[in-house]
Structure 1
Amino acid sequence: MNDPTLLALGATVLTGTLAVAGVQTYASGRAQRQALEDRLTADLGAGAGASRGRRFAGVDRRLRRTRLGRAIHLRLSATGLDLTAGEFFVYVVSVVVALWLIAAATLAPFFGPIAGVVAVWSAVVFLNWQRQKRIEAFIAQLPDVARILANATAAGLALRTSLAMAAEELEAPAGEELSHVAHQLTMGRSVDDTLGELAERLPSRELIVLVTTLVLANKAGGSVVNSLRNLTQTLEDRKETRREVRTMLSEVNATAFTVPLLGLGSLLLINSSNEGALARVTGSPVGQLLILISLGLYAVGFFVIRRLGKIEV
């Protein structure tokens, strides 16, 4: 062998060695990153079931790398549901396919895509409803939060310690959210940033008032006991007011959901009394246009009734 041959052989061996080392380093770093993501997911409130085996783990890992997966994860973290982004995505896709097939077989093939769109919209509405439900439950616990913080502050405890004590004594969702706040404060984050993040995650006027009171007291110092005790009574009064308003608007909300259900019932009645009627109607562009207009009017009626029955307290 001459010198160029030895040089090429040595370069090949060196390149192969570096390639193997690079692959091992990449695999190790990826495993460490996945372990860190799993720990962070558990800390951010995956719930009591975080330690159990998850379904569709591969789908979840791939989905979390996309913008859609990150958006789903953020929405799920605000609802408190014990679901991963992959599980929720697979469930929604399954429901979309099922409703598509059922609508196409029961009504007409034209209604299959419409049923799929309605299923996706229903999934988004479900997440928003769960988030609002969690916010309402948190608001209902705010008087107890303010009372515990006032008593702990009156006993001479620091704000960080008071928040940790409130997290231990309260049930979910306030206990979980305050536990997350206490954990963030332990990790070195400031009180302003941590409480501001809480207010963004569960937006409400009551929580904003409480957060503003705590932040100002933390910055300016001095006694915050009287402010918290006055705030406790105010939150109790608002709690009763919200309950009365929700009771008065229950009929309006029921009407908003009854209107589109009447439209769906009418379609089923027409198709059952005259089999194949919807297939013949949707067989022409004019019929499809009229069906879309009628569905749009039902949707407009739903949103108008919901808007008229929405009162900010």
Structure 2
Amino acid sequence: MDNLPLLTIGITLLTCVLAVIGVHVYSSGKAQREALVQRMSHTGQIPAVGRRRRFGGIDRRLRKTGIGRRIERKIAVTGLDLTPGEYFVYVVAGLLGLYFIIGAIFATFFGVLAALAGIWGGNAFLNWQRTKRTEAFINQLPELTRVLANATQAGLAMRTALVMASEELDNPAGEELRRVADQLAVGHTLDDALGELADRLPSRELVVLVTTLVLSSRAGGQVVTSLRNLTETLEERKETRREVKTVLSQIQVTALAVPMIGLGFLLLINNMTPGALDKMTGATMGQVGTIVAFALYAVGYLAIRRMSRIQV
């Protein structure tokens, strides 16, 4: 018992050494497993492993419904790493957050309106993500046509040129072209694979490119010359779109600022006279007037966005 402190120190040091060894063995084993999975996924022996999915039960039930299938199709064209179940849970959580936050700041009736607007906002978010992905893909089209022109000029077939472009380009073009290459590998025709690409990312630039590639594959002709000319045209359109977007940015900010000013006035009134919004929305006429006012703000916002939308 006289050597008890020394024995305690020795056991503690031994435990620390074993802990360090255990952490080192675990980290090295995990790294080796990830390297093995990545190597085998590239060879196609096992599917690629992604992140762990949440809300699996909700996702399975939601996929069996019509709304779940629609959500799945919308998410598929946005490039988001989400399942329908995760998206549904996040939207519901956001609606509850809007209801409580807006209801606490303004009034309970405004919380209900915010939750209803959030339902539209969830769908608008997916549409915005699709538009954003389409815009990013359009910006990569000049580079894509340049790669295809160089590959075909080197004597490669169009299928091989598409595979090469999918490996060289960044996302979203690389990911979309890999999907096209996978479809071609399992027997889809070039027309069908490129047609599905144009359906996923609708734009006039992509339709022109797809039409050029399809006609060249059917009737032959000078593919390299067509792609070179298309590259120059797409570069010019890219610059024009950037200039138009810069000119219209002030109008878009105005469209968003107008309803924000209205909400600011409501918040100012409620701070000057506490409970004024509760009294206003407590009567039927007040609720109807609030709904009409917000509807007019929405119409004004959409009208300004519509008038400032220029197709290039």
Per the TM superposition, whether the score is higher than 0.5 is yes
1:27-66 alpha-carbon deviations (Å, 9 max, x no partner):
xxxxxxxxxxxxxxx9xxxxxx961111111111111111
State the distance in 2 between where 1:143 and 1:98 align. Answer: 43
Pick which of 167-176 and 274-283 moved more.
274-283
Q: In structure 1, what is the equivalent of residue 184 of structure 2?
A: 185
State the distance in 2 between where 1:247 and 1:183 align. Answer: 38
Kept in 2: contact 1:135–1:202 (CA 8 A): yes
**Per-residue deviation, 1:120:** 1.4
1:288/1:276 CA distance change after superposition, 3 Å: same
State the distance in 1 between where 2:61 and 2:70 align. Answer: 14
State the distance in 2 between where 1:125 and 1:69 align. Answer: 16
Q: In structure 1, what is the equivalent of residue 151 of structure 2?
A: 152
Q: In structure 1, what is the equivalent of residue 127 of structure 2?
A: 128
Q: In structure 2, what is the equivalent of residue 3 of structure 1?
A: none
| Superposition map of 1:1-313 within 5 A | 51-313=50-312
Gaps of 5+ in 2: 1-40, 42-47
**Per-residue deviation, 1:173:** 0.4
**Per-residue deviation, 1:112:** 2.3
SS at match of 2:108: coil
State the distance in 1 between where 2:282 and 2:165 align. Answer: 63
Amino acid of the structure 2 residue aligned with 1:294: A
SS at match of 1:189: coil
SS at match of 1:197: helix
Amino acid of the structure 1 residue aligned with 2:230: L
**Per-residue deviation, 1:105:** 2.6
State the distance in 1 between where 2:125 and 2:263 align. Answer: 20
State the distance in 1 between where 2:221 and 2:185 align. Answer: 23
State the distance in 2 between where 1:83 and 1:263 align. Answer: 35
1:131-182 alpha-carbon deviations (Å, 9 max, x no partner):
1111111001001111111111111111110000000000000000000000
Amino acid of the structure 1 residue aligned with 2:105: T
1:158-214 alpha-carbon deviations (Å, 9 max, x no partner):
111000000000000000000000000001001111101100100011000000000
TM-score between the two structures when normalised by the length of structure 2? 0.83
SS at match of 1:110: helix
Gaps of 5+ in 1: 1-41, 43-48
Amino acid of the structure 2 residue aligned with 1:233: E
Amino acid of the structure 1 residue aligned with 2:200: R
SS at match of 1:105: helix
Q: In structure 2, what is the equivalent of residue 31 of structure 1?
A: none
1:291/1:50 CA distance change after superposition, 3 Å: farther
Amino acid of the structure 2 residue aligned with 1:136: E
State the distance in 2 between where 1:117 and 1:157 align. Answer: 54
State the distance in 1 between where 2:119 and 2:282 align. Answer: 25
Identity %: 59
Kept in 2: contact 1:140–1:239 (CA 8 A): yes
Q: How many residues align?
A: 266
State the distance in 2 between where 1:199 and 1:184 align. Answer: 14
Amino acid of the structure 1 residue aligned with 2:273: N
Kept in 2: contact 1:50–1:82 (CA 8 A): no
State the distance in 2 between where 1:266 and 1:131 align. Answer: 34
State the distance in 1 between where 2:264 and 2:131 align. Answer: 29
**Per-residue deviation, 1:106:** 2.5
State the distance in 2 between where 1:190 and 1:235 align. Answer: 26
TM-score between the two structures when normalised by the length of structure 1? 0.83
Q: In structure 2, what is the equivalent of residue 5 of structure 1?
A: none
State the distance in 2 between where 1:74 and 1:238 align. Answer: 30
Kept in 2: contact 1:150–1:225 (CA 8 A): yes
SS at match of 2:77: helix
